[in-house]
Every structure is written in C-alpha cells, then in structure tokens.
Amino acid sequence: MALFKNIFKDPDDEELTGSEDEFYNINESDALAEADKSGNKMILLEPRAYSESQQIADHLKNRNSVVVNLKRVTSDQAKRIIDFLSGCIYAIGGTMQKIGVGIYLCTPKNVNVQGKISDEAEKNKTEVEEEW
C-alpha cells in the first residue's frame, strides 16, 4: 500500500518544505538573472545627445522600463528626444509620465504604473488661483 501511495501521490497532499521568506530571500546575482529572463528591468539613463535616444527605444522594445534624465542635454535636444520617445511609446502601446523636472518614466505595455507625481509649478499655480 505504501508503494501505491508513493507512485500515485496526489499533488495537493504534498507538504511544502521551507518558508515563504526563503522564496523572497535570493541573492543579487540570482535576482538579476531572473530579471534578464523575464525582461522586467528598470533602466536609468542620462542621454548626452539625441543620438542616444535609439538606445532608450531599444530598451522599451525589450519590455524594460526606462527612467530618462534629460538634464545633460540642451532644451532643443530634450524636445527632440521626447518627440522621438513619444512616437516609440505610441507604437508599442506604452506610457510616459513626467516624474520631475526633465525626468520621465517610460514604460512598455507590460508595465502598469499606478499613481501620479504632481508638478511643483502646477501646485503653485493652483494655490495662487485659490487665493484670488
């Protein structure tokens, strides 16, 4: 009878060994390897020229989120980069959110972003209008 139970085990009867903490406590190299497989990375980039915008688009095509800091480019180059990325994001069905002055979060379709960061200038404008 014991042989029969061992051969025809019900998977629901199996007891899990280990704790839930062990599942979440993995080392950094294993976590990076897992992220490489799933394509769920957060890339931080500071382009210094418009020519680097294609690199940002490539990360988005690979289904990675990108935070773009445009503080190292001129305002004309920043506008061109934003225009290019807007087209890329539209093509892949992603989203772009401004998270600071010259800093944008670009996400592909597989990433859901919740919440919104308010702009200080917009906040001050609202406060002035309320005083009138």
For 71-116, what is each residue's pLDDT tens digit? Answer: 999 999 999 999 999 999 999 999 999 999 999 999 999 888 888 8
**Domain spanning 39-112, CATH class:** alpha beta
Provide the residue ranges of all domains of the chain, joining segments of one domain with +.
39-112
Each residue's pLDDT tens digit, 31-71? 556 655 666 789 999 999 999 999 999 999 999 999 999 99
List the one residue out of 77, 73, 71, 68 whose CA is nearest residue 43.
Answer: 68
CA distances from 89 to 50, 115, 123 (A): 17, 19, 27
Query: Residue ranges of the alpha helices (H) in 62-99?
Result: 75-92
Tokens of 82: 């934003």
Asked whether 68 and 56 are in contact (CB, 8 A), the reply is yes
Contact call for residues 89 and 57 (beta carbons, < 8 A):
no
Q: Which two tokens stand for residue 70?
A: 């445009």
Q: Are 70 and 104 in contact (CB under 8 A)?
A: yes
Question: What's the pTM?
Answer: 0.64
